[in-house]
Structure 1
Amino acid sequence: MFPVFPPGRSLLVAALSLVLTRLSCSSVPDVPHIATYFGTKTRYEEVNPHLLRDPLSVNRTVLKPPPAERCSPVHLTAVIRHGSRYPTVKNIRRIQKLSELVRTEASGGSETWIQDIRNRWDMWYTEDMDGQLVMKGRDDLRQLAGRLSSLFPALLSEENLRRISFRSSSKHRCVSSVEAFQEGLQELGGGSEPQYRHQLDDELMRFFERCRGYVEGVERNRTALQEVEKFKHGEEMDAVRRKMAARLGLPHHRLTPDLVEAAFFLCSYELAIKSLHSPWCFLFDESDAKVLEYKSDLKQYWKRSHGHVISGLSSCPLFHHVFRTLDKAGRPRRSTDAAPEPASILVGHAETLLPLLSLLGLYKDQTPPTASNYRTQHGRTFRTSLIVPYAANLLFVLYDCQRGPRLQLLVNESPVRFPGLEGEDAPLYRDVRATYRHLLDGCDFHRECEGRAGGRGPNTEL
């Protein structure tokens, strides 16, 4: 099921994969009309559609140091989500249940796609897949490495490879992703065999497991996700259920919200894993997809993001690590000092990125999403489909400029301005530090996660 290549062939296979991908770019596969609404299960290419035609294309204009100053990048810190993966066991079991229900009880529709679902679609997912990285996921990270090395040739160069630090979550999909990223960089040197070098660091990349305030106050707190539960059983979701049941010829009560979501995820998995336009996709129109995306966004907002203060504060260790690394890279040096670390590559999960983005104050809408305001939330900035698709990345680019170090932020390779410093794409680093002074001087993990219970509750500022 998971191909194993003999030593020395991994890079060759990776290089051939990139070549074949570029050769096939003239025949971009048929993409489902709902592909941009899959939340955290969205392909990276839906955020950057130009990559469907050329996965190594780079837009250098995204780097925006002040044109009036001479600037050069001196350090890159990249916080990256793993690439495309198989479903986890929980979703595989839901898919199995849905598949059996449709095969044994569905009676509706003569459309070809319904016949394909009932008669031709095979349940090929097995529990041993359990969230592991797929070949497309390795491509996601290899190609990202290729693009970043083109964007920052002086930092991610062959001679700098040994000075770049790599840290990863211990989860298999993250370890495979950090290895694929290193393959993408080492292809530059034309080596015959990849040399993997990374540190497993769950304290940094899975901080959310160690924060007792978060685990007790949000993850195990039944009331913390009440907006999600209300929406799950509300009128918008019920309308989607009824429509889907009618299309399949199933009694409404047999199709639970979880099974509706399983069918939606099936469409996303088949696209992300096999680049297939699955027959399951035809069960949903765009309005259905927007409802299901909103349900997913509610979960991420109230579980991992701005909904509860402690969710963002749980990422304090990662926040401090990033700024300590930037401090070191931007510090004035004597000619005898060793050159700074050119890059720091940190590979984790959507659950790693979302709290950090929240702590930085990004994607916070004036009105929080709730179960009752779906119709007024269509213009929200908090859309996980755009923020944390597979291979999502948060890039901190430190420049050496005439007036001093400057810092630029990119999310998924697009410029994003720091809250409070919206006037500049790459403000002076000292101004960024001043903006986050309250977190740099505070944000103590032990105090926030083990201290007063009041810090664990809902975000009363919303």
Structure 2
Amino acid sequence: MEPDTGPCCASPSGTGLLRAATGSRAAPGGLSASLPGHRLLRAAVLLLLTRLCCSGSVPDIAVHFGTKTRYEDVVRPGLNLSSAAAGCSPVHLTAVIRHGTRFPTVKNIRRIERLSRLVQSQAPRGHGAPSWLREIQEQWQQWYTEDMDGRLVEKGRADLRNLAMRLFSSFPGLLSEAGLRGGGITVKTSSKHRCVSSAEAFQEGLHQSWSLPSLSVLDPEYVHEVDDSLMRSFERCRGYVEGVETNATATEEVDRFKHGPELRQVRARFSTFLSFVVADLVEAAFFICSYELAIKSLYSPWCRLFTKEDAKVPTDPKAVVVKAKVGFFQHLDKKKKK
């Protein structure tokens, strides 16, 4: 079957969908029994980035890490989502959840490997080199391997387990064991391995909330559904694939940015010691800094390459790409509403 060429709805890549509701399949004596005496509350959960609270172990450029930001840096301690509407009884919860902390993709691992080789073979050494460069050359090890390829790290599983427990503490009636086993809770994910692993980890967190034995990787009690037609619907939209994804002219702004004054200024400052640095390698250095903080909680020496102003630049090309992609679907939505 050919992809639909009409309006499509985009689901953000790297997300999962959770729905929980009271009803005939929920636990007996649940919230549905007390609804007549209460106003109804329909709750949607969004994960919002808040301002980072930086400490001595967190680089000051971490505020520009975007989607590489550590989850613990954006959690609002003590937030009880169900307390926002006092006197209401929650009857439905929909949560769009991003996957947990992951390794770099193979594309970025290859760029990191290339940058590492060049720094070791072509950058100056000895007392004439700055301290951050000597630290990279003498102490930092290139530990990323291609088989990691965007897979969820153990810390990423913990991210999702903790999220499940926080949601359960706010909505215990909706996220009950009986609800999961009786079909009152549905968990949908894309086929991306990091998303499937995140869906599993989320359910592990619910089991911990219910004080049940932990699930194993092969445990048949995982109840999530892989649904790429929903979670990666953009891949089946011909208008998007042909008009944006495979259309070189759709992201011309990215190429202009890579050769524009902002990146030229960053490369000019780097060129004193790293004359071989091009736009992609500037971004690779920035990724090393962000991934090592997210995965290992390390203040990487690579972070010291960037000033606060520099750090605003490497993530911008991706923002331009995202704007082009999201703008396509916003355009379709407007056409559909006319």
TM over 0.5: yes
SS state of the match for residue 96, structure 2?
strand
Task: Give the corresponding residue for 1:406.
Answer: none
SS state of the match for residue 75, structure 1?
strand
Given candidates 78, 95, 102, the residue that maps to 1:58 is 78
Pairwise CA distance, 1:292: 2.0
1:137 equivalent in alignment to 2:164: no
Pairwise CA distance, 1:312: 6.9
SS state of the match for residue 250, structure 2?
coil
Within 5 Å, which residues of 2 pair with 1:374-393?
A: none
Unaligned runs of 5+ in 2: 1-54, 216-220
Counterpart amino acid of residue 231 in structure 2: M
Task: Give the corresponding residue for 2:286.
Answer: 264
Within 5 Å, which residues of 2 pair with 1:199-210?
A: 199-210=225-236
Kindly tell me: are residues 190 and 312 of structure 1, through their superposed partners in 2, closer, same or farther at Cα, counting changes over 3 Å?
Answer: farther
- Contact 1:133–1:176 under 8 Å retained in 2: yes
- Contact 2:59–2:299 under 8 Å retained in 1: yes
1:187 equivalent in alignment to 2:213: no
Kindly tell me: are residues 241 and 276 of structure 1, through their superposed partners in 2, closer, same or farther at Cα, counting changes over 3 Å?
Answer: same
- Contact 2:68–2:290 under 8 Å retained in 1: yes
Task: Give the corresponding residue for 2:249.
Answer: 223
The two structures have a TM-score, normalised by structure 1, of 0.56
Kindly tell me: are residues 93 and 63 of structure 1, through their superposed partners in 2, closer, same or farther at Cα, counting changes over 3 Å?
Answer: same
Counterpart amino acid of residue 184 in structure 1: G
Pairwise CA distance, 1:43: 2.0
- Contact 1:39–1:296 under 8 Å retained in 2: no
1:177 equivalent in alignment to 2:177: no
Task: Give the corresponding residue for 2:13.
Answer: none
Task: Give the corresponding residue for 1:96.
Answer: 113
SS state of the match for residue 153, structure 1?
coil
Task: Give the corresponding residue for 2:274.
Answer: 250
SS state of the match for residue 98, structure 1?
helix
Kindly tell me: are residues 71 and 211 of structure 1, through their superposed partners in 2, closer, same or farther at Cα, counting changes over 3 Å?
Answer: same
Unaligned runs of 5+ in 1: 1-27, 51-56, 314-358, 360-437, 444-462
Pairwise CA distance, 1:46: 3.3
Identity of aligned residues (%): 56
Kindly tell me: are residues 280 and 312 of structure 1, through their superposed partners in 2, closer, same or farther at Cα, counting changes over 3 Å?
Answer: farther
SS state of the match for residue 125, structure 1?
coil
Matches of 2:164 and 2:152 in 1, distance apart? 17
Counterpart amino acid of residue 152 in structure 2: L
1:47 equivalent in alignment to 2:74: yes
Cα displacement string for residues 363-389 of structure 1 (whole angstroms, at most 9, x for unaligned residues): xxxxxxxxxxxxxxxxxxxxxxxxxxx
Kindly tell me: are residues 259 and 116 of structure 1, through their superposed partners in 2, closer, same or farther at Cα, counting changes over 3 Å?
Answer: same
Pairwise CA distance, 1:155: 0.9
Given candidates 161, 165, 169, the residue that maps to 1:146 is 165
- Contact 2:82–2:90 under 8 Å retained in 1: no
Matches of 2:82 and 2:241 in 1, distance apart? 38
Kindly tell me: are residues 312 and 184 of structure 1, through their superposed partners in 2, closer, same or farther at Cα, counting changes over 3 Å?
Answer: farther
SS state of the match for residue 84, structure 1?
coil
- Contact 1:58–1:150 under 8 Å retained in 2: no
Pairwise CA distance, 1:110: 3.9
1:283 equivalent in alignment to 2:305: yes
Q: Please, what is the CA RMSD of the aligned residues?
A: 2.1
Counterpart amino acid of residue 169 in structure 2: S
The two structures have a TM-score, normalised by structure 2, of 0.76
